[in-house]
Amino acid sequence: MKRLQVLLLVSLSSALLLFGCGKKEEEIAEPVVEQVIDDVPDIEEEAEVVEEETDEDLPPKEGMVRSRITNEWVTEEVNNTRPITVMIPNTKTASQYGISRADVLYECNVEGSITRLMALFQDWSDFDRLGNVRSCRDYYVYWSFEWDAFYIHYGGPFYIDEVINRADTEDIDGLSSSNFWRANDTGNTTDNAYVDTEGIKADIQKLGYDLEYRDGYADKQHYVFAPTDAPNMLDQYSDAITANKVDMSPTYPVTNCYFVYNSETGLYDRYQHLSGEADGPHVDLANDKQLSFKNIIIQNTYFEVRDQKGYLAFQCHDNTRDGWFFTNGKGIHVNWEKTSDYGATRYYDDAGNEIQFNTGKTMVCIVEDGDSFLVDDEKITSSSAQ
C-alpha cells in the first residue's frame, strides 16, 4: 500500500503544480502562389485530381470533421465541446440507458469482484435519460482526466476526496445536484439515479465550468488512427493471434462479459451473463441496441486492496505494464504508459511503435496484474505481474 500511496502522491503533486490554476493560435501565413502562364494542365489531368478528392476522407457534408475520439465524422461543435464521463453500474440491478452511445467504455473491478463502467460520450447533446449513475472510485477520475471530460458520478467513499476536491477536477456529483432524479419504473430501488442533457448543462453553468477544452488540451492527440481506406488488419505482425472471442470471465467473475467478433460488421459484440442471470447480449435499455466495439484494449494494471471492505486502488500512471489490442478478429501483445494526469494512455507494439486504432468505438478492460482472460478458449495471463 505504501508503494502505491507514494506513486499517487507524486502524480498528484505534479498535477497540482501543472494544473493548480483550477476551475475557475497561431497566425497562418498566406501561401505564396507563383503564377505559371505557360504550364496549363490538360482536362484529363484535372479530372484525375477531382476523382482523387471523392474518397471517404472527404466529409459527408459541410462542417463535419474527424472525431478526436473515434475518428468518425462529427460536427465541429461536437468535436470542440468537452466530453462527459459517466459512472455506470454493471450488476443485476443496473438499468442502463444510453450506454450504447459511449465512444469509449472502461470496465474495472471494484469491491466484491463486481465491475463498474465509465462511459465516455463525445456527443451528449440530446440525452433525455442517462444512467444509472453510480458512485466514484478515484482511479476512474485519472482515466477521465486524459480526455479533459466532465466527470459525472453519484457520491463515493472517502478515498475519492483527495482527487475530487482538487481545483482542476471538474465533476458533477448527483448528491449535491438538484438535476438528478430517481426512477422506479424498472422495479429497481438500488440503481435508479439518472440525469439528462439539460441537467448536465445546468450543473456545468452553475459550477462555472467551460464547455470548451481547457488551454493546452484541445490540440493533443489521443489515439492514433489508421486511415479509413487502409484499416489496421494487424497483418503486419507475424505473431498476431486469431481472436474471434475475447472472454473476460476469469478476471470479471461476476459480470462474466465476453466479446464475439462479427465478421459481417467488423465489430466485437458484447455479451455477459451476470451471476444468477441468463447469458445474453449486453443491451442498452434506451434503444435495445447491443454494445459493439471496433477496438478492444486489455490493460494489465498494478493494484492493491485498501481495506477489509475490499476497496481497491489501481496504479493509473505507469510505463512498465503490458496488455493486448484486438481489432478485426485478430490481436497483438502491447505495452502501455501514462506519464501524467492529463496525458493520454499510449499503447505500443513490442517493437516500440505506437499502435494504430481503427475508426470506431473502443472498449478498455482494466485487468488486475496476475489475472487472465481467454482468447478463443486459450488462456492469456499478464506477463508484467509482480
H/E segment holding residue 115? strand 115-121
Residue 384: C-alpha distances to residues 108, 273, 287, 351, 380 (Å): 18, 29, 40, 17, 12
Inside any domain, residue 201? yes
Inside any domain, residue 49? no
Please write the tens of the pLDDT for every residue from 239-290.
999 999 999 999 999 999 999 999 999 999 999 988 777 789 999 999 999 9
Inside any domain, residue 40? no
Inside any domain, residue 76? no
Peptide bond into 132 cis (omega under 30): yes
Inside any domain, residue 200? yes
Inside any domain, residue 48? no
Instruction: Judge whether 255 and 247 are in contact, CB under 8 Å.
Output: no
Please write the tens of the pLDDT for every residue from 120-157.
999 999 999 999 999 999 999 999 999 999 999 999 99
First to last CA, the chain: 14
Q: What pTM, to 2 d.p., does this model score?
A: 0.85
d(CA 123, CA 131): 15
Inside any domain, residue 17? no
Instruction: Judge whether 285 and 97 are in contact, CB under 8 Å.
Output: yes
Domain of residue 220, residue span: 2-10+84-381
- Nearest CA among 133, 136, 141 for reference residue 194: 133
Please write the tens of the pLDDT for every residue from 163-189.
999 999 999 999 999 999 999 877 777
- Nearest CA among 339, 298, 342 for reference residue 318: 339
Q: How many domains does the chain have?
A: 1
Between residues 30 and 97, the one the model is more confident about: 97
Inside any domain, residue 306? yes
What CATH number corresponds to the domain at position 169?
3.50.90.10
- Give the pLDDT score at 31: 40
- Nearest CA among 97, 95, 288 for reference residue 184: 95
Binned at pLDDT 50, 70 and 90, residue 384 comes out as: low
